[in-house]
Chains A and B, each alone.
Chain A
Amino acid sequence: GESVGLHLPTLSVQEGDNSIINCAYSNSASDYFIWYKQESGKGPQFIIDIRSNMDKRQGQRVTVLLNKTVKHLSLQIAATQPGDSAVYFCAENTGFQKLVFGTGTRLLVSP
């Protein structure tokens, strides 16, 4: 069945380091992927997305990499800041308007 999972439930980094958050997905029909950031008491906040016809997309301080061969997605955050501390979710869209979320990775940034 469908599943989206994360390898590391908690990632601790120092301020200024680069962070890499990983995600595995199992539905090869998924054609669109999104990374969301969720701060305490808030809803998921859109960070960056990528379509299945791409393998890399860059935003401001963030990069998403997609490896369809091994069904792996990653989010790279450059120069991580304390304000980046949150739970990060990957989500996949199989084309039926239903997002399937991963379990989430908590990013802790120490000053």
Chain B
Amino acid sequence: EPEVTQTPSHQVTQMGQEVILRCVPISNHLYFYWYRQILGQKVEFLVSFYNNEISEKSEIFDDQFSVERPDGSNFTLKIRSTKLEDSAMYFCASNFEEGNQPQHFGDGTRLSIL
């Protein structure tokens, strides 16, 4: 069964440094998402992306965050200047159509900011 894959599984970064989290969505999917989950809390929406542009973003997704689909297979989340509170699990998801179709998630990248 096709899967969403994310790399790295764990990223440790110094506060203030830039970090790029990588995702390979399911190959025929057209809609891409990033979510985060702070330890012990619920999964929170960050951003959705379609046709090479952001469709919607949450208030968490401020100017420090950006997303990019640099080629036909990868989807990345960049945090320019990381803060301690950015420490969380970051999940990438994708689906084929918008609306009433389930989003399929990767296993996440654990981001630890020191």
Contacts and interface: CB of A to CB of B under 8 A. Distances in A.
Interface in B37-89: 41-45, 48, 50, 55-56, 58
Contacts of A99: 33, 35, 43, 45, 103
Size category, B interface: 20 to 34
A43 interface: yes
Interface residues of A, number: 25
A91 B35 CA distance: 13
A89 B43 contact: yes
Contact of B42 (A41, A42, A89, A95): A89
B43 A44 contact: yes
B99 to A, nearest CB: 7
A32 B35 CA distance: 18
Interface of B: 4, 6, 31, 33, 35, 41-45, 48, 50, 55-56, 58, 91, 98-100, 102-108
Given A49-B100, A99-B45, A99-B103, 19 more contacts: A32-B100, A34-B103, A42-B107, A42-B108, A43-B91, A43-B106, A44-B91, A44-B105, A45-B105, A46-B105, A49-B102, A51-B100, A89-B42, A97-B98, A98-B56, A101-B42, A101-B44, A103-B42, A104-B42
